Structure 1
């Protein structure tokens, strides 16, 4: 059903707007529209937000650490770390300024190690950002304290979805900003025997969200008539003379965690396959105005039997599509 209820405002990008030091900001957990349950021992997920933004961050914590492949695409990537082994991944709003939240997660983990800095207990944290200022007229930014709070709120059983955590002010369908709609944070969990996979994503794309029937279900909402259109129509009109200015400030950032034992090569190929598959649910995807990043982690616990790595990637790709659609409240 087409509705205006998710239509996002367009920021004036004015100077002198309210920032973090102008208010007494208190981090709070993000309830979201609902939660997605998961059962993945050794993995926990936490969210926190500043309601005054709103803006927030999301932390996927793997205390024992996990081998990681990072796939960054598009022309506007904002990222830190990109280590080949991580104890946490922080997804955050605030664009480049939100990287402070990633540092906050690292600082919190250091304190949990009783400030031990021996090389073999160093806690590695990578992170990626979305530009979420286009839907709000303030400069409230995820900072170190918000990153710490997201980690403290981490749970091992469920994750908030909808406008929660890093997705608090995420928008999609920005062929034109006035037609953008709020999206948010999505998650999905699947288990096949002992094999587990958890996918977390924050949708802040130029593209629209497309369901499995090929319908545009969020973004590029036209008022006359009230309907969502595929961007293909706009771009065809642009070729024919309509003036379409590029819309900047977009990115989809995601985390895939599995417990399947994979070689470095297979882990890389899994990440590439799943990240590529997300174009089915986000159209267009990986544009020069996006900074799409996927962190693929494995805890290396279970052998992959019965199917190939490509087959496993197919299952993980479908889980990613579940997560994309779960972001829509």
Structure 2
């Protein structure tokens, strides 16, 4: 099975809790030092932290970790724990007296799904997930389904279990493009051009609660600058739309991060070659995102909780 960790140097760590009111967790993507990153937020109900720092016009270039968390806006506190781990390990933007780790984060809504509305990720869980990622070997297997930030994920108005999925593609020039997704969407997987509404606009007559989000991290070993990472994140949203219907709604917080570790140079010998290389990479990013989303749903298992039962989605 392919994974985002097929990109050399990328590691993924999870932390989560179930039972005693809990059904939530955190996933941390830990890239090698010097990794360039950006983000594109498309959903109408995002919960994010420090994404402004990833705009191509801002000062910093590199990203020290990406945090994906349950717990809605409360769960963004997990980023502080990951930031603390990074500081302890000397990862961050150098400033007089130390470093300031650049740790963007995004969250899904899973509040109360385990029975306790106050059971959500915190600083300690973010630290644990970062340490888990750092302890992994290069190229390690990534736990899928009901793990990390996917512990309390659900899809299709909460009818079915969502979860964590991952995939990768390798291009002819040796560039690897991987994706990791936390699927907590309003929509369901598309089939024959249809999805959760089955092509019937009336299926959405009842407004959904703003409790949905698909979070994605795309990673590549190509050399990209910050603006090219931004464009790759934008292109990767196409994969989200292909896999889920509906997507990018007012009730979703759909967000895609892009990380470039900078190990392989693209052909930039001419403007035509530059454009062709970037378009090929960005197309692969969209494909990897689709595969990761479907993987996350396929690997999720039905669970019973005090808040209700989430079935396993089987088309």
Which position in structure 1 is the counterpart of 2:103? 125
In structure 2, what is the Cα distance between the partners aligned to 1:304 and 1:36? 22
1:191 paired with 2:174, answer: no
The structural deviation recorded for 1:134 is: 5.6
In structure 1, what is the Cα distance between the partners aligned to 2:120 and 2:247? 26
Contact 1:91–1:129 (Cα < 8 Å) also in 2: yes
**Which of 246, 251, 266 matches 2:228?**
266
Q: Compared with structure 1, are the counterparts of its residues 285 and 237 closer, same or farther at alpha carbon in structure 2 (3 Å cutoff)?
A: closer
- Normalising by the residue count of structure 1, what TM-score does the alignment of the two structures yield? 0.76
The structural deviation recorded for 1:73 is: 1.5
Contact 1:172–1:209 (Cα < 8 Å) also in 2: no
Name the SS for the 2:82 alignment partner. Answer: helix
In structure 1, what is the Cα distance between the partners aligned to 2:213 and 2:15? 20
1:59 paired with 2:42, answer: no
Alignment of 1:1-329 (within 5 A): 36=3, 38-52=5-19, 53-82=22-51, 83-84=53-54, 85-113=62-90, 118-119=95-96, 121-133=99-111, 135-138=113-116, 139-154=118-133, 155=136, 156=138, 157-174=140-157, 177=158, 180-192=159-171, 193-210=173-190, 214=193, 230-233=197-200, 235-236=201-202, 244-305=206-267, 307-327=276-296, 328-329=298-299
In structure 2, what is the Cα distance between the partners aligned to 1:114 and 1:197? 24
Q: Is the deviation greater in 262-271 or in 147-156?
A: 262-271
The structural deviation recorded for 1:302 is: 1.0
The structural deviation recorded for 1:91 is: 0.2
The structural deviation recorded for 1:231 is: 4.8
Unaligned ranges ≥5, structure 2: 55-61, 268-272, 300-315
- Normalising by the residue count of structure 2, what TM-score does the alignment of the two structures yield? 0.79
Name the SS for the 1:296 alignment partner. Answer: strand
Name the SS for the 1:54 alignment partner. Answer: strand
Aligned-residue RMSD, C-alpha:
2.5
Unaligned ranges ≥5, structure 1: 1-33, 217-228
Q: Compared with structure 1, are the counterparts of its residues 302 and 116 closer, same or farther at alpha carbon in structure 2 (3 Å cutoff)?
A: closer
Q: Compared with structure 1, are the counterparts of its residues 161 and 214 closer, same or farther at alpha carbon in structure 2 (3 Å cutoff)?
A: farther
Q: Compared with structure 1, are the counterparts of its residues 209 and 114 closer, same or farther at alpha carbon in structure 2 (3 Å cutoff)?
A: closer
Q: Compared with structure 1, are the counterparts of its residues 111 and 210 closer, same or farther at alpha carbon in structure 2 (3 Å cutoff)?
A: same
Contact 1:184–1:204 (Cα < 8 Å) also in 2: yes
The structural deviation recorded for 1:194 is: 2.6
Contact 1:110–1:116 (Cα < 8 Å) also in 2: no
Name the SS for the 1:51 alignment partner. Answer: strand
Q: Compared with structure 1, are the counterparts of its residues 36 and 298 closer, same or farther at alpha carbon in structure 2 (3 Å cutoff)?
A: closer
Contact 1:208–1:231 (Cα < 8 Å) also in 2: no
In structure 1, what is the Cα distance between the partners aligned to 2:257 and 2:220? 11
